[in-house]
Amino acid sequence: MRGLTAEWRRPSWRRFVLWWPARLYGLLASLRRALYRVGLLRSVQLPVPVVVVGNIHVGGSGKTPLTAWLARSLRERGWHPAIVSRGYGGSHRQPQAVHPSSDPALTGDEPVLLAQQLYDHEVPVWVGQDRVAAAHALLAAHPEVNLILCDDGLQHYRLQRDVEICVIDGAAPWGSQALLPQGPLREPLRRLQRVDAIVYNGSPVAPAAATPPAFIMHLEPQDFYQVNHPERRRQAADFQGARLVAVAGIGNPQRFARTLGSLGLALPLHAFPDHHPYQAADFAPLAADVILMTEKDAVKCKSLNNDTLWALCIAAEVHPDLAALVERRLNAHGR
């Protein structure tokens, strides 16, 4: 699924042709939300609080790094969080645990990345096409867990939630304000008025006209590690003189290009579709000594035994303290 590219922002015949399908999509989405609100569609409340991290537009916005940051922050505050994800792109059918060594083709790439980043913090990660079933299986296996973080579940109304967090790409918040398939929005902008917090990934160029508290997340680049041998580390300056290219199979590839540019690495970027299942043939045409990629891409490339692949570590920082707001909301709900 592509991110918020100029395709969404340019007026075109495509947008006009898709006006009626977008209206129908919006009507069906509103009807579905209303059916859950009045109880005609059944939602499920878990025995522990649920915090949903999601967005209202297609493409990458930074949900996964925010989920990892929030899990670590709440763990430091004494909570025992766990993460449930649908595991987009994975072939799994039943709920299952995700480990740092799990196969991304089975569980999805983002859950494996979360399991790797949170292993030392003892935060379980589970996936399931039925997120309610996955949460129940997780709680049965980990009775110490007292908080569920749902990665990318804002529109999954079957799972009741105590706190909703919407992540927005600060550099390209909306493109157009049209709903799918005419534009990039899964839900109308007024949906933002009902979430508990908005988190901008980067300083916003066009803040939303919404009442919830706003937070800013900065993804700070760190060092690089060799995908085959993660203990081998390099700084950006260490690549001086090498033939470099970058690849990105994420929702917003240009964000990765800008991050590399901030490190003084202005180089060609080869963009692949989001969640692309990398094969050795993808890198064969790239005449390079070093191929730079995101950590999300790296989890799918460990088995390729390609020593030219290096992944950039990213550290998320959120201001002001989002974890404190989450705790206040949970306390207000008596959870």
Q: Is residue 61 a known part of a binding site?
A: yes
Q: Is residue 121 a known part of a binding site?
A: no
Q: Which of 221, 271, 277, 220 is closest to 246 using CA atoms?
A: 271
Q: Is residue 58 a known part of a binding site?
A: yes
Count H helices and E strands in the chain, helices first: 11, 13
Q: Is residue 203 a known part of a binding site?
A: no
Q: Is residue 39 a known part of a binding site?
A: no
What span, in angstroms and rounded, lies between the C-alpha atoms of 84 and 235? 33
Output the pTM of the full model: 0.91
* Beta carbons of 64 and 296 less than 8 angstroms apart: yes
pLDDT at 8: 47
Q: Is residue 334 a known part of a binding site?
A: no
Q: Is residue 63 a known part of a binding site?
A: yes
Supply angle C-alpha 182, 183, 186, rounded to 5: 110
pLDDT at 210: 62
Q: Is residue 259 a known part of a binding site?
A: no
Give me the sign of the Cα torsion angle 303, 269, 259, 58: negative
* Beta carbons of 110 and 85 less than 8 angstroms apart: yes
Strands 125-127 and 96-98: antiparallel
Q: In a structure prediction context, what are the per-residue pLDDT tens digits for the chain, which is 335 residues long?
A: 334 444 445 456 666 788 889 999 999 999 999 999 999 999 999 999 999 999 998 877 899 999 999 999 999 999 999 999 999 889 998 999 999 999 999 999 999 999 999 999 999 999 999 999 999 999 999 999 999 999 988 999 999 999 999 999 887 666 667 899 888 899 998 899 999 999 999 988 766 666 799 999 999 999 999 999 999 999 999 999 999 999 999 988 999 999 999 999 999 999 999 999 999 999 999 989 999 999 999 999 999 999 999 999 999 999 999 999 999 999 987 77
pLDDT at 318: 97
